[in-house]
Amino acid sequence: MKLPEKTKGTCLSRIQTISGINQKGVSRIARYVLTHPEEAVSLTISELAEKIGTSIASVSRFCTRLGQDNYRAFQMDLTASLANSPSTVSDIFRPTDRPSTIIKRVFEINRQGLADTEKLLEHETLISVAKLIIRAKRVLLFGIGGSALIARLGALRFEALGITALAITDAYEGLLALASVTSDDVVFGISHTGRSALIIKLLKLGQAKGSRTVGITNYVDSPLAELSEFALLTSFRERRINAAVSSSRIAKMCIL
């Protein structure tokens, strides 16, 4: 899946969606640019490659993965992104931080994540998914671990609108639900990393039965995003995965 190029100034948000993929070169470049965006803007492609310890070809592929035609286009979009988000919020908490500082930073991290998520969301995709839900016989929401709560809350919200919805939070329950799934059903897979083997397996089973599939994840190149017919992305760039999972729940609920 490739992100649309029409949205300008979302470079930092886009980079977050590929920063967790299991390719050392790509993730290393992504982490560097997210940590030093102001410096990356002023570096040539060869200087950036040397700083990171990678090749010019790898940087070029990185730009292409972001949906940019070349390195220059990447730098322009990064510049616009910095202008739109002049003060990137740090997710580092230190023992010396004052309680008031910690409280303020927690809210800032969540505000920034929601703003970044809104920039990445394709309205056409969101509208298409909404239409599927309205026409669906049932909506099944698969989520385990930290995503189980989102599945339950999502099902409750849909039920309140008169839509038949079911939250699936374990493997056995999922297999039972999928036994009767049809092309009239919509199946959601919810996973922050997009790499939950169980969620991916359940979505594949749903697809085999003809159901429409929707993935909600933080990473565009994750197996869940690639597998889903429709992928809806959150954007949280916390370095600590548990904190990012926790914060991104708010964005997932906004999407639902």
Note the pLDDT tens digit of each residue in 154-199: 999 999 999 999 999 999 999 999 999 999 999 999 999 899 999 9
Q: Give me 222's structure tokens.
A: 């994750």
Please spell the DSSP secondary structure of 159-210, one letter per residue.
Answer: HHTT--EEEE-SHHHHHHHHTT--TTEEEEEE-SSS--HHHHHHHHHHHHTT
- Per CATH, the number for 123-255 is 3.40.50.10490
**Range scoring the smallest mean pLDDT among 17-26, 75-84, 119-128, 160-169:** 17-26
CB 248 within 8 A of CB 256: no
User: pTM for the full model?
Assistant: 0.75
Cβ neighbours of 176 (radius 10 Å): 10
- pLDDT value of residue 24: 63
Which sequence spans correspond to the domains of the chain? 11-88, 123-255
CATH class, domain 11-88, is mainly alpha
Helix (H) or strand (E) holding 117: helix 99-120
- Interatomic CA distance for residues 85 and 63, integer angstroms: 20
**Helix, strand or coil, per DSSP, at residue 229:** coil
Note the pLDDT tens digit of each residue in 66-84: 878 889 888 888 887 777 6
**What value does the CA radius of gyration of the chain take, rounded to a whole number of Å?**
19
